């Protein structure tokens, strides 16, 4: 059985890596096309665009790995069936369960790879990519201070203590300087929302610094024209889905201590822990296809079916996440249901094939 496992590992790994490279190349091409629209903004040249696209690659590897495992396994098993190798294995007394266990060992390898890429490589590369892009195109950003987010906006320095998921700003400090870098105005707003191409700040305290005296004004609402846009804030902060599990756990604790809602981050944390396990589920789902329509189904058909199933899995994942946020479902339930459904489908098909 060890010889068979090594043979399966060699063939399936080669095909999974090939499918992964093909999918990554496609996603990187789409990224390149999208980024070319920003070519020439500031000092964002072709070299930095290529660097940004390459730094985005680990995130795509994490996203497509279960799909690549499914398609690679289906293609490999289809080739085995075409050459009657699966039939020989069954006739030799090797049960479907034993073949499944061998495939699960292979799936476990890709599960570990997916977890390591998502936990250690993607958060770092994503942060580097977004920082590089922002510095090259829009403004100077400092993001790792305890006081929150700092943005240079013309002659002003803006400090935002917290940015919510809907880009609402909380506790905004705006320090406006003149051309000689003398402080002219200091403003503090409790909150700010982007409406009609401008920011509306609420509960604002403005302090004007003159030569002779300082003046303080209390305003309920102020319009703030700024180069800062919600799109800029979204790319400044790494999305919860691309944060590491440890950072998500730490931030959830922070929100809980401060009695703030952390549902989205809990959802992202559970998805981060469960998503790599999809590689194991995909090998179970792929196995029955090797015994179904062994000679009549071509390799291209199996690849197409595998891609469609992978797309369906991604759609179900996104759908349950959004439904969970809208209906306030338990984060674990929303994160695990698509994987459980695919596992049930795979086991049901295996039972059908084994009983046939």
The total of structural domains in the chain comes to 2
What is this structure's pTM? Answer: 0.77
Both 105 and 72 in a single domain? yes
Q: What per-residue confidence (pLDDT) applies to 233?
A: 64
Measured distance CA(335)–CA(114) in Å, rounded: 17
End-of-domain residue from the set 203, 227, 251: 227
Judge whether residue 234 has pLDDT over 60.
no
Rounded Cα gap, residues 349 and 355, in angstroms = 10
Residue 232 located in a structural domain:
no
The β-bridge relationship of strands 156-163 and 169-177 is: antiparallel
The neighbouring-strand residues paired with 153 are 156
Residues 192 and 296 in one domain: no
- For residue range 192-224, what is the model confidence (pLDDT) as tens digits? 999 888 899 999 999 998 877 788 999 999 999
- Which of 91, 85, 100, 111 has the alpha carbon at shortest distance from 16? 111
Dist CA 15 CA 63 (whole Å): 17
Binned at pLDDT 50, 70 and 90, residue 62 comes out as: very high
pLDDT for residue 10 is more than 70: yes
pLDDT-derived band at 182, boundaries 50, 70, 90: confident
Alpha-carbon distance 37 to 55, whole Å? 18
3-state secondary structure of 52: helix
Residue where a domain stops, chosen among 197, 227, 257: 227
Task: Note whether 42 and 191 are same-domain residues.
Answer: no
Integer Cα distance of 73 and 257 in angstroms: 45
The string of DSSP codes covering 87-126 is HHHHHTT--HHHHHHHHHHHHHHHHHHHHHIIIIIHHHHH
The answer to whether residue 233 is domain-embedded is no
Strand pairing report for 156-163 and 198-209: unpaired
The four Cα atoms 71, 74, 75, 78 give a dihedral, to 10 degrees, of -170
Mind listing the pLDDT tens digit for each residue in 280-319? 999 999 998 887 755 555 667 777 888 899 999 999 999 9
Nearest to 189 by CA among 168, 215, 165: 168
Tokens for 65, please give them. 């790995």
Q: Are residues 132 and 146 in the same domain?
A: no
From the list 290, 302, 298, 288, the residue with the least C-alpha distance to 344 is 288
Checking phi first, is residue 151 left (phi over 0); if not, alpha (psi -120 to 50) or beta?
Answer: beta
Last residue of one domain, picked from the residues 227, 254, 275: 227
Question: Do 216 and 82 share a structural domain?
Answer: no
**pLDDT reading at 102 higher than 80:** yes
Please tell me the total number of residues recorded for the chain in this structure: 356
The token duo for 288 is 């029955």
Decide: 44 and 137 in contact? Cβ < 8 Å: yes
For residue 140, what pLDDT is reported? 44
Same domain, 38 and 125: yes
213 occurs within a structural domain: yes
Question: Residues 247, 329: one domain?
Answer: yes
Q: Which residues contact 186 (CB under 8 A, 6 or more apart)?
A: 173, 174, 175, 176, 206, 207, 209
Per-residue pLDDT tens over the stretch 25-59: 999 999 999 999 888 887 889 999 999 999 999 99
Residue 72 — very low, low, confident or very high, per pLDDT cuts 50/70/90?
A: very high
The DSSP H or E segment spanning 142 is strand 141-145
- pLDDT number for residue 134: 73
**Is residue 20 located within the same domain as residue 127?**
yes
In a domain, 278, yes or no: yes
Kindly tell me if the per-residue pLDDT of 145 is higher than 70: no
The secondary element (H helix, E strand) that includes residue 262 is: none
Sequence-distant (≥ 6) Cβ neighbours of residue 356 within 8 angstroms: 291
157: β partners: 152, 175
Range of the domain at 188: 141-227
Question: DSSP letters along 310-350, please?
Answer: HHHHHHHHHHHHHHHHHHT--HHHHHHHHHHHHHHHHHHHH
What's the confidence (pLDDT) of residue 237? 57
pLDDT for residue 241: 82
Distances (CA, A) of 11 to 15, 35, 49, 228: 6, 36, 36, 51
What is the residue-averaged pLDDT of the chain?
86
Same domain, 150 and 193: yes
Only one residue has tokens 């997916």, namely 114
Question: pLDDT for 243-272, tens place per residue?
Answer: 888 888 887 887 787 676 888 889 999 999
Asked if residue 68 has pLDDT above 50, the reply is yes
């Amino acid at each position: 059985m060890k010889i068979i496992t090594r043979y399966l590992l060699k063939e399936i790994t080669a095909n999974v890596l090939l499918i992964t490279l093909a999918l990554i190349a496609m996603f990187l091409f789409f990224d390149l096309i999208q980024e070319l629209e920003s070519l020439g903004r500031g000092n964002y040249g072709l070299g930095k665009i290529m660097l940004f696209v390459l730094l985005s690659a680990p995130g795509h590897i994490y996203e497509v790995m279960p799909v690549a495992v499914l398609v690679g396994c289906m293609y490999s098993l289809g080739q085995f069936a075409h050459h009657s190798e699966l039939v020989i294995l069954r006739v030799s007394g090797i049960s479907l369960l034993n073949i499944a266990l061998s495939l699960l060992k292979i799936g476990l390898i890709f599960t570990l790879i997916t977890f390591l890429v998502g936990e250690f490589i993607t958060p770092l590369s994503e942060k580097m990519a977004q920082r590089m892009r922002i510095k090259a195109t829009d403004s100077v950003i400092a993001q790792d201070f305890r006081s929150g987010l700092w943005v240079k906006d013309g002659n002003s320095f803006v400090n935002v203590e917290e940015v919510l998921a809907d880009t609402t700003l909380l506790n905004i400090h705006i320090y406006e300087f003149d051309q000689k870098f003398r402080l002219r105005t200091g403003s503090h707003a409790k909150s700010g929302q982007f409406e009609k191409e401008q920011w509306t700040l609420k509960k604002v305290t403005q302090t004007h610094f003159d030569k002779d005296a300082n003046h303080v004004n209390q305003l309920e609402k102020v319009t703030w024209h700024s180069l800062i846009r919600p799109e800029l804030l979204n790319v400044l902060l790494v999305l919860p889905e691309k944060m590491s599990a440890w950072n998500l756990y730490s931030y959830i604790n922070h929100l809980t201590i401060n009695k703030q809602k952390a549902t989205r981050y809990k959802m992202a944390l559970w998805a981060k822990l469960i998503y790599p396990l999809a590689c194991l589920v995909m090998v179970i789902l792929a196995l029955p296809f090797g015994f179904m329509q062994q000679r009549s189904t071509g390799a291209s058909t199996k690849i197409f079916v595998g891609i469609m199933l992978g797309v369906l899995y991604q759609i179900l994942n996104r759908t349950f996440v959004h439904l969970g946020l809208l209906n306030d479902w338990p984060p674990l339930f929303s994160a695990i249901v698509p994987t459980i459904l695919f596992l049930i489908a795979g086991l049901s098909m295996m039972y059908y094939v084994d009983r046939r």
